Structure 1
């Protein structure tokens, strides 16, 4: 059953929760690494509590899990934002966001890489962001998400000879509970965001989950080192002069 195990980081809410729901629908067994437990475990889901910003704790939990499970698929989803202008960004913000958004995916990939290489098969999917292309008030966050794209491409080249694909997904505005709490549907700010989306709707966590499911499939072995922006068309034409 090794080929049916999927490790998802940050799977207890938001986009991560939708990814887990979709993976279970597709017949996978889930290992959910999250600091907090989900409100209820799904059939086929196992939760391990861990603070992924703690490098030692992350390595320890990966060693423990891989003793009991052979995992050939991983979704590096966990991440968070500390908004701020360049002037306001602090070293504390930088270190904290890098620890979760950039260092944790590297540690997870390192922990699972030997098993994927031995199996001559693997799927690594990194959840980046449209903000990697640039976004106001996101100096630290956009840096980590752009860095994740660089790691994605590098790992794709290094692991391709072993049958391991590595790809990234860049979500645009997604209507998670966290997003909606800071962007009420009737606020001018939210309306402005909606007007900027060519398909004229907010993304749903299930939109990201569907993209993950596609890249995770056995038949996706010729797609690697790519970034799929799931953004309703927001990235189309960026940089063009009117």
Structure 2
């Protein structure tokens, strides 16, 4: 395979060392892509993605091997608090990690995508973008990701670049299990609220991500796909 072909198959995944990000990286490998992971832990490129300068350094390292034409902006942070108690520090952290990092990664990879006449951008939003208690900073940034996705779709489509977002509902990760023990009444209530009567898995999200990363998905752009077991039915607009 030529260097150009190899570059076309590389996928940058932020926060890809665990949870949903790790599932996406594993699925990408199975699909024949080469995941390039940036995270604060793990075996990939290590960086504090809440820091713009460290993000820039990590992106330079990622692009040292050539252009990357697929991007999954997965990294994020949840800072639960009611509207009255949410601090400016928490709000700034959410903006930096959930929004600024995605914008910075897009700008870094964009020249290579435009040169190739091909690109796939997948932004990890959330069902919380539609509104959720105790999520002022989180919901604002996840809704902001949807807004950026729509703008990028309009601006970049002429270059063969698509931009889409995924809005996961409750997904069974290690973090979810710690906060929601399997036999707890709250956990049972969550499951009962899901039309398909189960919590999602990281693989459910990874399946959607790899569909949007596929070369054959070029007529799908500017969309939000809610991977939520039907929980957004009646909430999200048609």
What TM-score comes out, normalization by structure 2 length? 0.95
1:123 alignment partner, one of 95, 120, 124? 120
Alpha-carbon distance in structure 2 between the residues aligned to 1:62 and 1:51: 12
Alpha-carbon distance in structure 1 between the residues aligned to 2:177 and 2:117: 42
CA-to-partner distance for each residue in 1:102-143, whole Å, 9 max, x for gaps?
000000000000110111100000000000000011011000
Alpha-carbon distance in structure 1 between the residues aligned to 2:144 and 2:236: 20
Cα 1:239/1:37, change in 2 over 3 Å: closer
- The reply on whether 1:210 has 2:215 as its aligned counterpart is no
Q: Which runs of 5+ in 2 are unaligned?
A: 1-5
State the 4+ residue runs in structure 1 displaced beyond 3 angstroms.
none
- The reply on whether 1:162 has 2:159 as its aligned counterpart is yes
Alpha-carbon distance in structure 1 between the residues aligned to 2:80 and 2:22: 23
Specify the SS of the correspondent of 2:231. coil
Alpha-carbon distance in structure 1 between the residues aligned to 2:62 and 2:133: 39
Alpha-carbon distance in structure 1 between the residues aligned to 2:90 and 2:124: 20
1:99 alignment partner, one of 96, 120, 137? 96
Shift, 1:182, TM fit: 0.6
Shift, 1:67, TM fit: 2.5
Shift, 1:58, TM fit: 0.8
Q: Which residue of 2 is the match for residue 41 of structure 1?
A: none
How is 1:213-228 mapped onto 2 (pairs within 5 angstroms)? 213-228=210-225
Shift, 1:63, TM fit: 2.0
CA-to-partner distance for each residue in 1:31-64, whole Å, 9 max, x for gaps?
10000115xxxxxxxx100100110111122123
Alpha-carbon distance in structure 2 between the residues aligned to 1:52 and 1:28: 23
Shift, 1:239, TM fit: 7.4
- The reply on whether 1:20 has 2:25 as its aligned counterpart is yes
Alpha-carbon distance in structure 2 between the residues aligned to 1:239 and 1:154: 19
Q: Which residue of 2 is the match for residue 44 of structure 1?
A: none
Q: Which residue of 2 is the match for residue 42 of structure 1?
A: none
Q: Which residue of 2 is the match for residue 142 of structure 1?
A: 139
Specify the SS of the correspondent of 2:64. helix
Name the count of aligned residue pairs: 232
Alpha-carbon distance in structure 2 between the residues aligned to 1:162 and 1:114: 11
- The reply on whether 1:50 has 2:47 as its aligned counterpart is yes
CA-to-partner distance for each residue in 1:2-42, whole Å, 9 max, x for gaps?
1110000001100001001100000111110000115xxxx
Q: Which residue of 2 is the match for residue 10 of structure 1?
A: 15
Specify the SS of the correspondent of 2:166. strand
What TM-score comes out, normalization by structure 1 length? 0.94
Q: Which residue of 2 is the match for residue 230 of structure 1?
A: 227
Alpha-carbon distance in structure 1 between the residues aligned to 2:137 and 2:236: 21
Q: Which runs of 5+ in 1 are unaligned?
A: 39-46
Specify the SS of the correspondent of 2:38. strand
